[in-house]
Amino acid sequence: MNRLFPLFLAAMLSTSVFAQDDVEKVKSVVKSGRCSDAIAPLQKIYSSSFRKLDGEKASVMLAECYLRTGKKDDAHDVASRFLEYHVKSAYRERMELARAVVDVEKGSVFDGVEAMLRVLSYSTNPAARSRAKDVVIQTLAASLLTADQLQSLLEKYPVDREVMGWMQLQIGRECQNAKRYRAARYWYKKVLKTSSSENLQKTAKKGISALEGLGAGFPTVLVLAPLSGDYAEFGAAAVQGSLLAYEQAGLKDKVNIIFQDTHADAAIALMRTQRAVNQDSIIAIVGPIMSAPATSVAAWLGSNFQHVPMLTPTATDAGIAKLGPNIFQVNITMDNLAQTIADFAIKCLDIREFGVMSPLGEFGTAMSESFTKAVERRGGAVVGFRNYEEGRPDYKTEFNLLRDVRFSQVNRRRNIAKGLSDLNTVNPRDRKLYLADSTSDFPGLFIPATNPADAGAMVSQAAFNKVSGTYLGTSGWYGRELLIQGKRLVEGSYFSVPSLDMNKGNIAYTNFVKDFTARWGVEPGEDKVSGLSYDAANIIFSALAAVSGQDDDMTHYINATKDFKGIYGDIKFRHGANANTRIVTVNKGKFEVVTACEKQDVAEKNAKPKKKK
């Protein structure tokens, strides 16, 4: 491990970010290589001016000098304090890298690499990105991470093609050594598609040359749906939608289509999928329509048959599409809804810190977890979290606990600025006055309510209990009850919704309703199962028409296509999940779709509601 540290340090200190200022003299000492002489004056500026610009710059140089002189614990402490206090600093990436360097050197390789990949994912600073990339590649080349760790990082941070190529190559090697040739072939092919590095390409080709491809047979599309039991009505709608698409495509005697009853059971769905794949030349799958069966089938198919695309029309659980490059979710996932609002809040509202009030239950848990991950990936942080039980008339206890968390953070920052060694020191009088009279401000307050009425009520409760900020939500907010319950307090709030909820009435949808009614004698249901199944099947048939259907061409075609025209609007796959969402705000008592990211306009719009609170 020690042999890698000079490489990490060289990458970390390769460039300077400072211009002419009051710390120029100390900077000159640092640049001359005499860090031991610079530490004392830097410590003085760091202690006396930490909260000021000179203190920011001195902190960065001090951390680097500690690294140069081997004082890794001191460097880690300075970087950690800096990152906690200077949330929006222009030097944030540099300090994240400093702390990550120490983590890697001290053996916390996964944590260190993850921090560097996080910088790669959100930083727009070319120098910071270059340094992070160099350190990550050096770590990967040293084979310091396991295959499981690599796959976890690859799924979470697909941020740079060369870095991804290194991860894919290492995973492919492990698969080849374990004689998992189909998986190895997939990962080596991913290297060829991902990286332009000559060495990586040569190594990947050596593995591919020994692996045999799958044979092709009569092409068959498999539809998986619950055709009996409690969910048979939804299964019938899926069959009707996909069969209508098949008939309109004119594929009779060219492509076969078969249907399997999943009983809405994960084990049965997997068993019948395995049997169909073994007995028929399955080229694609529509379904399953429920999240649990979809997850079980996707996990197996994504590990063994990456050339067979599976499109689940309606499953919304987060992560199903991540189970393989051939797995797609046509419906908007809760994960994407949470990511959309997190992305908007950070990029357009310039928010970096968030409080979360999450309703108990699967929806609230999934939304808050996805939101937290999305915020962290973009360089932000959830600094306060509480659960609440929907339907109660009062949440004073929950909001007081949230305010207490915020006080602790504000207090720690005061102590950092004062240079105290114990950052948790609390003045009881200050705490009492703060909790009694002060309004706790969370720059962003995320409330993933399950319905509009509850969302409006929670905003009112937040204001009444002295918790302010820009209120954020997801699809549960969209409805007239939000305006009734929240009144003027929801002005300037923002939430993400699926585009498919806002596009009924277009020509494609009107034609679908007409054709569906003519074919089946009834109109399609409001649950969208038939419509989304129709879209899923049409995507498969368009892919089949565009490629040979052999190997992984269909999967590649779907992944490479920018968008597909669906009856509810465009379907835009991002990492397998439909990412076509919208941001909606409340302006003068009406819902408005946010069509542009304009920080100044958004800030002006939010100014008046905050004053009224």
146-176: buried (b, 16+ CB within 10 Å) or exposed (e) per residue? Answer: ebebbbebbebbebbeebbbbbbbbbbbbbb
% of the chain at pLDDT higher than 70:
86
Mean pLDDT value of segment 253-269: 90
Whether residue 15 is predicted with pLDDT greater than 80 in this model: the reply is no
CA distance 475 to 572: 18
Over residues 457-487, the pLDDT tens digits come to 999 999 999 999 999 999 899 989 999 998 9
Angle, alpha carbons 543-547-315 (nearest 5°)? 25
CA distance 473 to 292: 26
Mean pLDDT value of segment 75-85: 91
Contact 286, 530 (CB under 8 A): no
Pairing mode of beta strands 353-359, 440-446: parallel
Q: Match 């078969």 to its residue by tokens.
A: 258
Whether residue 3 is predicted with pLDDT greater than 60 in this model: the reply is no
Give every CB contact of residue 474 below 8 A, 6+ residues apart in sequence: 334, 337, 338, 341, 367, 448, 495, 496, 497
What is the structure's pLDDT at 182?
Answer: 53
Q: Which residue has the higher pLDDT, 51 or 216?
A: 51
Over residues 38-68, the pLDDT tens digits come to 788 888 888 888 888 888 888 888 888 888 8
Host H or E run for residue 357: strand 353-359
Whether residue 369 is predicted with pLDDT greater than 70 in this model: the reply is yes
What is the structure's pLDDT at 218?
Answer: 56
Whether residue 600 is predicted with pLDDT greater than 80 in this model: the reply is no
333-352: buried (b, 16+ CB within 10 Å) or exposed (e) per residue? Answer: bbbbbbbbbbbbbbebbebb
The residues facing 387 across adjacent strands are 358
CA distances (Å), 285 to each of 244, 318, 527, in order? 16, 19, 21
CA distances (Å), 6 to each of 66, 86, 139, in order? 14, 28, 12
Angle, alpha carbons 390-396-402 (nearest 5°)? 90
Q: Which residue has the higher pLDDT, 410 or 240?
A: 240
CA distance 101 to 8: 6
Kindly report whether the global pTM for this prediction surpasses the value 0.85: no
What is the structure's pLDDT at 210?
Answer: 76
Over residues 174-196, the pLDDT tens digits come to 767 655 455 567 678 889 988 88
Whether residue 33 is predicted with pLDDT greater than 80 in this model: the reply is no
Over residues 274-290, the pLDDT tens digits come to 978 876 678 999 999 99
Contact 355, 385 (CB under 8 A): yes
Q: Which of 155-164, 335-344, 550-559 shows the highest mean pLDDT?
A: 335-344
Mean pLDDT value of segment 432-461: 88
With H, G, I as helix, E, B as strand and everything else as coil, classify residue 146. Answer: coil
CA distance 60 to 113: 20
Annotate 511-552 with DSSP letters as a single string.
HHHHHHHHHHSSPPPTT-HHHHHHHHHHHHHHHHHHS---TT
Which of the residue ranges 177-181, 242-246, 295-299, 584-588 would you say has the lowest mean pLDDT? 177-181
For residue 92, which phi and psi values (nearest 5 degrees)?
A: -60, -45
What is the structure's pLDDT at 612?
Answer: 43
Helix axis angle, 396-418 relative to 428-437, nearest 10°? 140
Amino acid at 446: F
Whether residue 453 is predicted with pLDDT greater than 60 in this model: the reply is yes
Amino acid at 127: A
Helix axis angle, 72-85 relative to 53-68, nearest 10°? 160
Mean pLDDT value of segment 526-537: 93
Task: Assign 555 a pLDDT band (cuts: 50, 70, 90).
Answer: very high
Whether residue 526 is predicted with pLDDT greater than 70 in this model: the reply is yes
Q: Chain-wide mean pLDDT for the chain? A: 84
Burial of 507 (0-12, 13-18, 19+ CB in 10 A): exposed
CA distance 542 to 249: 9
Which of the residue ranges 398-402, 452-456, 596-600 would you say has the lowest mean pLDDT? 596-600
What region, left, alpha or beta, does residue 492 occupy, with left being phi > 0 and alpha being psi -120 to 50 degrees?
A: left
Whether residue 538 is predicted with pLDDT greater than 80 in this model: the reply is yes
